[in-house]
Amino acid sequence: MSGNESRLQAIYQITNREPVQVSKPEVMNKIWATDVFNLAKMEESIAKNAFKQVKNTVQTGTPLDPSTADVVAAAMKEWAISKGAKFYSHIFYPMTNITAEKHDGFIVTNSDGAAITEFTGSLLIKGEPDGSSFPNGSIRMTNAARGYTAWDPTSPAYIMQTANGSTLMIPSVFMSWTGEALDKKIPLLRSNHAMNKAAHRVLSLMGEKEISTLNSSCGAEQEYFLIDTNFANSRPDLLLAGRTLFGASPAKGQEFDDHYFGAIPARVQVFMQDLEDKLFRLGIPAKTHHNEVAPAQFEIAPYYESANVAADHQQLMMTLLKSTARKHGFTCLLHEKPFAGINGSGKHVNWSVGNSTQGNLLDPGKTPHDNLNFLLFCGAVIRGVHKFGPLLRAAIATASNDHRLGANEAPPAILSVYLGDQLEKVYKDILEGKLIKAAAAGVMDLGLSQILHFERDPGDRNRTSPFAFTGNRFEFRAVGSSQSVSGPLVTMNTMLADSLNWVADKLEIELKKGSTQTIAVMAVLKELMQKHGNVVFGGDGYSSEWHRMAVEERGLKNLPTTADALPALREESVKKLFESTGVLSPVELESRYEVYAEQYILSIEVEAKLVVDMAKTLIYPAAIRYLSDLAMAASSMADLNVELDDSIAQKVAAETNAMLAAVAKLSEVIGRHDFATTEDHMKFCAHEIRPLMVAVRVHADALEAEVADELWPLPKYSEMLFIK
Ligand code: ADP
Ligand code: MG
């Protein structure tokens, strides 16, 4: 199609679209978790003893014996077949942010040629995908062995429904034959284990007698854009890169704030309900949905769950967001910055740790004793963010998230902690020794229970902080919308484990001196604040003053790009952190560095090639056609002796030439591969390729503003964002 024909076609299709057929709404208890083989279903279908074992495994992470696995497999198969499943699949999460699966049939034929179904404990426990082409950061190159998947009984199996079939999905880990983690789930399980162990130490020292297994929890708020698929299909950049590489700002953007929390467009509301219906059937507790700041931007947030299950559910939700959107004629963009000039998308990861005996340790609680536990855990988080800020930054480092961090809409690439006025003052008083005095004077509750009575009003929150305390949890706000939440959760759990161990060591020393618990806690926290209090910041994280102060006065790191951030994974302190907690071996950590770096480089190279391609084959021809129209008009007018203003022709010619010059430079650098180190290659992408892509874009966008609308080939921002 030439000129603006594809755009007109798209608008025609959208205007004349038939509403999507959706089924009648069902009441909640009829659909809730119907497609999940959860504990309740297991209890109905297996013997009491076996069930007790499984439950214990789920709650405490102890291994399951093979005979019990056989029992579970048989029950799972019966249930899945009764729901129409003919295939099963171990679903796993490679080091990239995607979900992977390999499907196998339940069916085998016997010697008579009859079909029987088979699914044993060992088939349930272990799958063997030919995962050799998943990035592994050279872990498996050495022995050329294949990786294998293993059932994670702590995350329930479920049925994935498609229009004409269904498949039993078995959440799994993915590892090499030599036992190295090749996925995002293994480290998450290990990090939880490390946090549990360290938390036990602290709680025991605090005199707790009964301490059940601690788990981390996660509630992730997912932002996304919905664009009509007719538009997306005419934009190679949206199809291949998930974001627009070109596009002039529309006359109207998000200035009016009229989209935020506005009425949800009817077509989107229908989509959301359809999606939520699917989520509920899969036991995913979708809780809130609303419009976001940018036009065509929305958010969905499920209620929080244990981190491992939440991470699986989050991946599943991203898959369903995309597939359900497609059914409704939308393309769901999970990219962090699909459109320049308007807000991008993040994924706020709300995180807390707790158990059934002590409750949520990041909740100040009601008694002075609860307050002390809380202050220790919260203090441990402060220390973690300070000590491992660059690691946290690395955990959210992707080519796409770099567009968002540090822009004036998302937290800066400097990691600091926001506590809120009241809590910040408590820690300040601790630092200044005021609370030690109060404790020594026998004021047992130190006034904390009053001070820590938080307002949970979101208006009270600092939206410019990357890491904010929000009353009973921390909210890591710098996570990218397309990312798996596992990396951030692993990092938070592991840094907390390390800090809690530090706290426990210090507490032991203080208590040995004969100090009371309160005095010991205050002394430990005082030292902690002296060393790490610098990371606490309640001001405006977007301001340039903070960018200066953070680096110059507080010694915090500002790591604007992934190229700056990823090398944190190779620092000695980080290696030590992961090794000492048993979360990642040095080999596993190094492989992660390699995989993430490669992903970064690849995605920038793909985009750069796309920029060259689109500039040459879509934008240049439009500009030339317009120029030739203008030239023709000018020469006809000259024949009539009419003088015509040629300023537009001049401008279009100048921008076209400038664009081509930038394209030539960009093409030249894309091919470079002679780098001494991966780090050099990443830096080259960040500091050479990216700016040249922007240079091409600047001229292309200037052309969009000049060239006749009927010749412009790419759907414009105003169309994509406002036509629904
Ligand atoms: P907001 O947009 O104001 O940040 P939302 O209600 O949209 O808040 O999302 C908050 C998220 O935090 C939800 O997923 C919620 O379930 C989750 N959450 C609430 N309490 C906890 C907790 N203790 N630990 C982890 N996540 C939590
Ligand atoms: Mg939030």
Q: What is the CATH number of the domain that holds 172?
A: 3.10.20.70
Ligand nearest to the CA of 301: 1
237 Cα to the center of ligand 1, angstroms? 34
276 Cα to the center of ligand 1, angstroms? 18
- DSSP designation for 167: E
Number of other CB atoms surrounding residue 152 within 10 Å: 23
Taking a 5 Å cut-off on Cβ, the residues next to ion ligand 2 are 221, 348
- 96 alpha carbon, distance to own chain's centre: 12
Nearest CA among 722, 714, 711, 718 for reference residue 3:
711
Q: DSSP for 333-346?
A: E--S-SSTTS---B
Enter the tokens of residue 432: 């200044």
**Counting beta carbons within 10 angstroms of the beta carbon of residue 21, is it exposed (0 to 12), middle (13 to 18) or buried (19 or more)?**
exposed
Enter the tokens of residue 152: 């994670």
How many angstroms separate the CA atoms of 363 and 624, rounded? Answer: 64
* Cα atoms in the 13 Å half-sphere on the side-chain side of 631: 9
Query: Which among 160, 183, 206 is the end of a domain?
Result: 183
How many angstroms separate the CA atoms of 193 and 196, rounded? Answer: 5
How many angstroms separate the CA atoms of 241 and 469, rounded? Answer: 34
CB–CB of 229/326 below 8 Å?
yes
pTM, two decimal places: 0.95
Structural domain containing residue 624: 599-722
Kindly report, residue by residue over 204-249, the tens digit of the pLDDT.
999 999 999 999 999 999 999 999 999 999 999 999 999 999 999 8
How many angstroms separate the CA atoms of 543 and 550, rounded? Answer: 11
Enter the tokens of residue 70: 């056989």
Please state the atom number of ligand 1 nearest to the C-alpha of residue 219.
14
Task: Identify the helix (H) or strand (E) that includes residue 349.
Answer: strand 347-355
664 Cα to the center of ligand 1, angstroms? 48
Tell me, yes or no, whether 163 lies in a domain: yes
How many angstroms separate the CA atoms of 520 and 526, rounded? Answer: 10
**Residues in the chain where the model's pLDDT stays below 50:** 141-144, 450, 455, 457-459
Q: What is the CATH number of the domain that holds 613?
A: 1.20.120.1560
CB–CB of 508/205 below 8 Å?
yes
Question: Can you state the percent helix, strand and coil of the chain, rounding each to 5?
Answer: 50, 15, 35
Nearest CA among 341, 329, 259, 247 for reference residue 298:
259
Listed in order, strand segments (DSSP E) in 204-316 are 215-228, 286-291, 297-302, 305-306
CB–CB of 280/272 below 8 Å?
no
470 Cα to the center of ligand 2, angstroms? 9
Kindly report, residue by residue over 245-269, the tens digit of the pLDDT.
999 988 877 766 666 667 888 899 9
Enter the tokens of residue 609: 């090639």
Tell me, yes or no, whether 229 lies in a domain: no
How many angstroms separate the CA atoms of 380 and 382, rounded? Answer: 5
Task: Identify the helix (H) or strand (E) that includes residue 229.
Answer: helix 229-233
Residue nearest to atom 17 of ligand 1 (CA): 219
H, E, C per residue of 46-77: CCHHHHHHHHHHHHHCCCCCHHHHHHHHHHHH
Please state the atom number of ligand 1 nearest to the C-alpha of residue 363.
23
Sequence length of the chain is 724
* Amino acid 130: pLDDT: 61
Tell me, yes or no, whether 91 lies in a domain: yes
CB–CB of 696/666 below 8 Å?
yes
Ligand nearest to the CA of 261: 1
Using CA atoms, how far residue 173 sits from 28, 121, 135, 346, 665, in Å, is 31, 16, 15, 26, 44
Q: Which amino acid is at 150?
A: A
Tell me, yes or no, whether 304 lies in a domain: no
Ligand nearest to the CA of 304: 1
Tokens 């036009």 belong to 295
Number of other CB atoms surrounding residue 239 within 10 Å: 12
Please state the atom number of ligand 1 nearest to the C-alpha of residue 352.
24
Q: Which residues of 477-490 are buried (b: 16+ CB within 10 A; e: fewer)?
A: bbbbbbbbbbbbbb
Enter the tokens of residue 470: 């929000």
Residue nearest to atom 2 of ligand 1 (CA): 221
* Amino acid 145: pLDDT: 52
388 Cα to the center of ligand 2, angstroms? 22
Please state the atom number of ligand 1 nearest to the C-alpha of residue 350.
26
Which value, to the nearest 10 degrees, does the dihedral of the CA atoms of residues 278, 280, 286, 289 take?
50
Ligand nearest to the CA of 459: 1
How many angstroms separate the CA atoms of 332 and 318, rounded? Answer: 9
348 Cα to the center of ligand 2, angstroms? 6
Mutate to test the pocket of ligand 1, among 350, 469, 470 (most ligand atoms within 8 A of CB): 350
Tell me, yes or no, whether 718 lies in a domain: yes
Residue nearest to atom 3 of ligand 1 (CA): 458
303 Cα to the center of ligand 1, angstroms? 7
Tell me, yes or no, whether 47 lies in a domain: yes
219 Cα to the center of ligand 1, angstroms? 5
Mutate to test the pocket of ligand 1, among 473, 476, 492 (most ligand atoms within 8 A of CB): 473
711 Cα to the center of ligand 2, angstroms? 43
Task: List, chain by chain if needed, residues with CB within 6 Å of any ligand 1 atom.
Answer: 217-219, 221, 288, 301-304, 348, 350-352, 360, 458, 472-473
Number of other CB atoms surrounding residue 204 within 10 Å: 13
Query: Which among 151, 183, 215 is the end of a domain?
Result: 183
- DSSP designation for 686: I
Q: Which residues contact 658 (CB under 8 A, 6 or more apart)?
A: 699
Number of domains in the chain: 2
CB–CB of 476/492 below 8 Å?
yes
Enter the tokens of residue 91: 């679903």
Please state the atom number of ligand 1 nearest to the C-alpha of residue 304.
16
Ligand nearest to the CA of 347: 2
34 Cα to the center of ligand 2, angstroms? 29
How many angstroms separate the CA atoms of 557 and 563, rounded? Answer: 14
Please state the atom number of ligand 1 nearest to the C-alpha of residue 351.
25
Tell me, yes or no, whether 127 lies in a domain: yes
CB–CB of 421/538 below 8 Å?
yes
Tell me, yes or no, whether 160 lies in a domain: yes
Query: Which among 183, 208, 236 is the end of a domain?
Result: 183
- DSSP designation for 254: S
Enter the tokens of residue 421: 């006025």
Please state the atom number of ligand 1 nearest to the C-alpha of residue 362.
23
Mutate to test the pocket of ligand 1, among 192, 216, 304, 461 (most ligand atoms within 8 A of CB): 304
Please state the atom number of ligand 1 nearest to the C-alpha of residue 360.
23
